[in-house]
Amino acid sequence: MVTMGPAADWARRQVDTGRVPVAVLGVSSSRGIEDIVAFGSDDGRPASTEDHFALFSVTKPITALTVMRNVELGRLALGTPLSAAVQGFGASRTDTVTLEHLLSHRSGITDPKIDDVTPLRDSLMAAGQTFYAGSLVQYCNLAFEGAAAMAEWAAGRPFEAQVQALADDTGAGGLTFDSDCNPHTVHVDSEPSLNVHAMYKNRHPGAGLFGRAADLLNLGTELLRDSGKAVQPATLAAMRRPRTTGVPFISILESPRRHTGLGFQMPAYESELLANGIYGHPGWAGTEWWMLPEQDRCVVFLTNVLDTPDLGVDTTELFNAVAAS
C-alpha cells in the first residue's frame, strides 16, 4: 500500500506546495493494482481516483504498443516505409521514412503545433523535412499520426478501434480519445499558449488520449507480467531497446534527459536513480506513466498543469521513492 508511503507523500507535497492543484498517484505490480490516492481540488472539483486526465504524450507508448501488434502479426516491419501506407508522402524527399524512424523521433518530419486546426493527415502530407531520416533525433508529435496511418493500412480497420482492442485486452477500458469523459481542466500558463480544445479535436495519436490512473496501472501490470496481452515479450524488449543513444539531438536542452526506444522513453540520467531499467513516458500536462521492472512496480502520476518540471515537480524524487518502497 502507498497511502501513507513516501511516494504518496511526494504526490501530496506537489499539491501542498502549490505546484499543481490536483494529483492522482497510483502504483501497481505484476500482481495488480496496489493503491491509488488523490489529492487537492481545482475550481471546487476535488480530485478523485476515478477521474480522467488528458494524458498528452503518455499517448505515444500506447500508440506504439498498438502499432507493434501489427508487427507481431507480420503485417508491418520496422523497415516498412511510411510512403507505402500513405501514398504521396515524402514525394520531394530523397530519403525513406520508416516505421522505426516514426516511433523513435528520427523521422525528420517537420512538426506543426499540436493544436493546429489542419487535419492531421493533411499536415502529414504537407510536412516539410527537417533532416535526413535516421541521422538526428528531434521530438515529433506528427510522426505518430504516420505510425497510426500505417497501422490502419496494415490491419484494414480504424486506428482508434485498434487502440480500444489493446485497452480491452489489458483492463484499460477507460482510455479514450473522446473529451466528453469530463477530464480535469488543463492549466496553460506557459508560452507559447495552447488551445487545448483545438488539440482535443485532433484526436492526436501522439497526444490525444484521456485516461484514469487504473487504466494505465492495469496496462502497466500486463507489461510487468510480460503476459503477452499487450504485446509479446520479444516485442516489448525491442520497444525498450534505446534507438537514440549516441545520435545527435536537436533540442533546446543541454543534453537529452531521456533515450527513446519505440514509443517508450528511458531516463538518460540513471546515476541519479536508485532503479535501473525504468521505461515509460511523461506528458506535457504533468502526467507520468513508468515501469520499474527490477522492483516490479508501475507508477502513474496524473495532474493538469503544463510544464510541471519548470514548476519544480521532479520525477527523479518519485522514481526513487517508488524504488525504495
Domain range enclosing 39: 6-324
Query: Is residue 1 scored above 60 in pLDDT?
Result: no
Q: Under a CB-based contact definition with an 8 Å cutoff, are residues 65 and 169 in contact?
A: no
Given a cut of 70, is residue 16 above it in pLDDT?
A: yes
> Has residue 93 been placed in a domain?
yes
Using the Cα atoms of residue 12, residue 16, residue 18 and residue 19 in order, give the sign of their dihedral: negative
Q: Where are the alpha helices (DSSP H) in the chain?
A: 6-16, 59-72, 82-85, 99-103, 120-126, 143-155, 159-169, 196-202, 213-225, 233-240, 315-324
Arithmetic mean of pLDDT, 66-83: 98
Across residues 43-52, what is the average pLDDT?
A: 97
Structural domains of the chain, count: 1
1 inside domain? no
Q: What is the pTM for the complete model shown?
A: 0.96
Q: What is the mean pLDDT of residues 145-171?
A: 98
Question: In 3-state terms, what secondary structure has residue 146?
Answer: helix
Q: Give 256's pLDDT tier (boundaries 50, 70, 90).
A: low
Decide if 59 is inside a domain: yes
Residue 2 has pLDDT above 60, yes or no: no
215: pLDDT confidence band, cut at 50, 70 and 90?
very high
pLDDT of residue 265: 97
Q: Is residue 44 part of a domain?
A: yes
Per-residue pLDDT, 203: 98
Residue 188 lies in a domain: yes
Q: Is residue 108 part of a domain?
A: yes
pLDDT for 18-34, tens place per residue? 999 999 999 999 999 99
Residue 319 domain flag? yes
Whether residue 214 lies inside any domain: the answer is yes
Supply the mean pLDDT for the chain: 95
Q: What is the pLDDT of residues 274-302, one digit of tens each?
A: 999 999 999 999 999 999 999 999 999 99
Contact call for residues 16 and 250 (beta carbons, < 8 A): no
Query: Is residue 190's pLDDT more than 80?
Result: no
Distances in Å between the Cα of 112 and the Cα atoms of 90, 124, 140, 146, 169 are 16, 9, 9, 14, 33
The 3-state secondary structure of 187-206 reads ECCCCCCCCHHHHHHHCCCC
Residue 129 has pLDDT above 90, yes or no: yes
What the block records as the C-alpha cell of 118 is 489542419
CATH of residue 300's domain is: 3.40.710.10
Residue 251: what pLDDT?
76
DSSP annotation of 129 reads B
